[in-house]
Amino acid sequence: MTRTQAIEHFKGIPKLAKALGISYAAVAQWGEIVPKLRQHELEKLTGGILKVDSDSGPKAA
């Protein structure tokens, strides 16, 4: 999932950060793809509305 999708779902970085129990600065440091562990947390928190992107992350050579 993208950072934009997560932010839009929670209607802003402050609410997203609060839902995860992390700081605004931590969310702001993400790239455009949400870190994999956070994706799993967000999928659980949203009851599956936001889904883990199985294609994100480094590719095997």
Nearest Cα residue to 12 out of 1, 29, 28: 28
Region 9-33: mean pLDDT is 97
Instruction: Give pTM, 2 decimals.
Output: 0.84
Give residue-wise pLDDT tens across range 30-52: 999 999 999 999 999 999 999 99
15 domain-assigned? yes
* Mean of pLDDT values over 5-18: 98
Task: Report the alpha-carbon distance of residue 33 to residue 4 in Å, rounded.
Answer: 9
Residue 50 forms part of a structural domain: no
61 assigned to some structural domain: no
| pLDDT band with cut points at 50, 70 and 90 for residue 59 | very low
Domain carrying residue 21: 3-45
Domains identified in the chain, total number: 1
